[in-house]
A and B are shown apart, each in its own frame.
Chain A
Amino acid sequence: MKTVRAPRPGRRIGAAALLALGIAALGAGGARSAAAPLLNRPAPPFTRSDLAGKTLRLGDYRGKVVLLNFWATWCGPCVAEVPRFSAWQKRYAAAGLQVIGVSMDDGGAVVKRFLRRTPLAYPIVLGDARLGRLYGGINGLPQSFLIDPRGRIVARYVGELDLARLQMQIKALLPRRPG
């Protein structure tokens, strides 16, 4: 049986930096790449309480690959995507992935109802206009940002995603090899 040695984390991060350029250029298939003022810049920090009441600070996830997904329960493509993100959270958590959901619903009650029917394995915070503006304007959903372990935005996806392609991009950025 052939054993594949996992590259050292530093090397993986270095390779990821190069890869980031490719990711930013290619996007994730069907999703449209938006105007890119945030690309290759530090992800704007924010602190929010998640729907479980726990404080979530984006900066606490430094060292992980973060998929920051702006979504809402009324958005068909968003609702189709989130179960896959939940599956990735479970599968790649040990390799360094953290999915964070930002719901742009008009209030938390509808999101809590949704989560009772469709539990997600990652934290959800409630977004608002301020957080939307911080991320360059969330004027339509779905929108996702891929943030590398150094805390820099390496891709922004607007619209429906090619999930298989996004999964490959995430795997390539992970600081540790998935088990």
Chain B
Amino acid sequence: MKHDARTALATLCLMLCIYACPGDALAKHLPASSIPAAMLIEPAALAAELKSAGRAKPLVLQVGFHTLYEEAHIAGAEYAGPAAEEAGLRELGLRVKSLPKDADIVIYCGCCPWSHCPNIAAAFDRLRSLGFTHVRVLHLADNFGADWVDKGYPVASAR
């Protein structure tokens, strides 16, 4: 009994610690690992797809932080975030509201290493819960700079 009480107290402390943790966006983010591997697209494949003529291009949405979008983003991508925050998820919902549920959508973030990203899984989760069936997620293992910009794939900035 005593042991149970101690365990409960320790769990409560841990939870309080996690929720009071620095970085509001970090407090309770879904891990990127929760996204099924089949939904991922690698940077080279997306770059080729965006480059190819004669086929419809997907809607590419940056669901991360605006400062990073402003500095550099995939050419043609729109901003709809940050998905780590409820306001960002609302923005995302508004952007896709008028689209058919089978719209071809690619989302990406790349704010930090994949396993630490607070945005990407939240955005994926929201789009799926809204009923979108063709959502792909750009897999940026290190970050947008290393995995997209440094590779020479097309970039635009919001100057």
Residues of chain A at the chain B interface (Cβ within 8 Å): 32, 34-35, 72-79, 104-106, 110, 113-114, 117-118, 127-129, 132-133, 137-142, 158-160
Contacts and interface: CB of A to CB of B under 8 A. Distances in A.
A80 B25 CA distance: 14
Nearest to B25: A74
Interface size class of B (residues with CB under 8 A): 20 to 34
A110 B142 CA distance: 24
Contacts of B72: 129, 137, 139
Interface SS of chain A: loop
Interface SS of chain B: loop
Contacts of A113: 24
Contacts of B25: 73-74
B158 interface: yes
A35 to B, nearest CB: 6
B111 A140 contact: yes
Interface stretch (B7-15, B130-138, B144-152): B144-152
A139 B84 contact: no
Interface in B99-133: 110-113, 116, 118
B49 interface: no
B113 A73 contact: no
| Closest 4 A/B residue pairs (Cβ) | A140-B143, A139-B145, A74-B25, A129-B71
